[in-house]
Amino acid sequence: MISLQAFYVAATVVTLVQWLRLRDKRLLPLLAMFALLSLAHFQGEWFASRGYHVAAGVAGLTLLVMISPRPPARPAP
């Protein structure tokens, strides 16, 4: 059975390959989120890894801001 550690490492590698291929800056927070989650799961216990989990959450929120549609700019009167 695949562990969460292996899943997050694989997701990090796939995202890195996609970023190298596309050079889309929106993939960077996703890459950071997967990398931080893999580090958190390698730590093992919650107390030791909570900083990585919080940083992964911040990376996820950054990704949300980057992919959210922005309202069109209003023309000047």
Q: Given the structure tokens 């590698």, which residue do they identify? A: 13
pTM of the model: 0.85
Tell me the pLDDT tens digit for each residue of 8-47.
999 999 999 999 999 999 999 999 999 999 999 888 787 8
Distant-in-sequence contacts of 51-55, Cβ < 8 A, 24+ apart: none
pLDDT higher at 30 or 74: 30
Please check the confidence at residue 1 and state whether its pLDDT lies above 70: no
Q: Please report, for the chain, the start and end positions of each structural domain, with discontinuous segments joined by +.
A: 4-67
Q: What is the pLDDT of residue 22?
A: 96
- CB contact at 8 A, 15 and 34: yes
Q: What is the pLDDT of residue 46?
A: 78
